[in-house]
Amino acid sequence: MSFFNTIKGLGRSSKKNKKDEQSSLYSHSNISGNTLRRTQSPIKAPSSPSKHSASPARGGVGAGTGGVGVQGIPTTGRNQTSTYQGSPSKRSRAVNNNNLQQRSPHKASVASRTSQSTITEPPLFMCEPYVKTALVKGSYKTIVQLPAFVDLNEWLALNIFEFFGNLDSFYGLVSEFVSPEEFPTMNAGQTNYLWVDGTGQAVNLPACQYIEYVITWISNKINDQETFPTKTGAVFPQFFIKDVKNISRQMFRIFAFIYYNQFDKIVHLSLEAHFNSFFAHFVSFIKEFNLLDKKELEPLQPLIDEFEASGKIN
């Protein structure tokens, strides 16, 4: 459930069978499914492999982007042997968990930028009326600030979990259009995000594989009691802030990919106001707690500047 509905208790339940009574702030009739729960494991329930997912190659030893290590450089085959369930978009993602190992995504991905002398027209999300459209008026400043008497780590964990659930829902709406043939690289405008394999070589991955590995890595992180503890009195690890920054970085890249490559689908579903407000909320949060470097924000900096000028982001 949305943290706006749970903030009364300022806690994250560890009961696995607790019902989701209310929908998220960014829920819409076009977004189906429930928000992923902190306590729901992404690998508990087997399901059929997703027709939109691609499995990694089985030869060699390497590391995958998004914090997920795999064997070799992934290909676009479909030979998954196990799956996990838990996406609020009601789609299954296939991952061979026996071949996965956690790895910090900032060490396993590289952002490169290609030079283009001229840009003929602005991207759709920067055009009116879409750039002005918003679900919520005003700033998110007071919403993202740390409440009195609330532990910082608990507040970060609560919000990161909520952001991830909503972002996963939005990607679920457009994932069927993100094929390896259509998007052979993970890009956002002139920025191309590369995969660094086990030898340290940066290689291009299809966007669908990049995103699926990122989602799997984040799911594993937020459902790991040692990293994101939910029990009362549990102590957050020393590397918790570092993990939060890495998760935020990878979520931002998914935002950027959707804005540059799938925003027309968002408009077609009449969800541009929801998505813009969601992004403004996310950016307000990462700026409040300095979770991302300014350089990482460059692909969407014009949009951020527009939101700042209109008062959505302070």
- Using one digit for the tens of pLDDT, what is the confidence trace for 15-50? 444 444 444 556 655 554 443 434 333 333 333 333
| Stronger pLDDT, 205 or 90, i.e. the higher one | 205
* Angle (nearest 5°) at CA 299 between 293 and 302: 100
Query: Helices 272-288 and 240-261: crossing angle, nearest 10°?
Result: 150
pLDDT tens per residue across span 60-107: 333 333 433 333 333 333 333 333 333 334 333 433 343 343 444 544
Domain assignments of the chain as residue spans, ordered by start: 33-117+127-309
DSSP string, the chain: --HHHHTTTT-----TT----S--TT--TTS-SPPPPTT--TTSS--PPPTT--BPP-SS----GGGEE-SSS--SB-----EE---TTS--EE--GGG-EE--GGGSEEEEE---S---S--GGGSTTGGG--SS-S--HHHHSPPTT--HHHHHHHHHHHHHHHHHHHHHHHGGG--TTT-SSEEETTEEEEEE-TTS-EE---HHHHHHHHHHHHHHHHT-TTTS--STTPPPPTTHHHHHHHHHHHHHHHHHHHHHHTHHHHHHTT-HHHHHHHHHHHHHHHHHTT-S-GGGGGGGHHHHHHHHHTTS--
- Quote the CA–CA distance of 65 and 56 in Å, as a whole number: 12
Q: Which amino acid is at 303?
A: L
Residue whose structure tokens are 């007071």: 142
Residue 120: the pLDDT is 72
State the chain's mean pLDDT as an integer.
74
Cα 94 to Cα 122, 215, 216, 221, 313, distances in angstroms:
36, 11, 9, 17, 37
Rounded-to-integer distance, Cα 240 and Cα 205, Å? 28
Q: Which residues contact 173 (CB under 8 A, 6 or more apart)?
A: 30, 31, 89, 265, 266, 269, 271
Asked if residue 129 has a cis previous peptide bond (ω within 30° of 0), the answer is yes
pLDDT of residue 31: 57
Q: What is the CATH architecture assignment of 33-117+127-309?
A: Up-down Bundle (1.20)
Rounded CA separation 105/233 (Å): 29
What is the model's pTM?
Answer: 0.70
> 194 has which bridge partners?
110
pLDDT of residue 233: 82
Measured in Å, how far apart are the chain's first and last C-alpha atoms?
26
Paired tokens of 47: 């399901």
Side chain identity at 141, as an amino acid letter? K
For 151-160, 192-201, 304-313, which range has the lowest pLDDT when averaged over its residues? 192-201
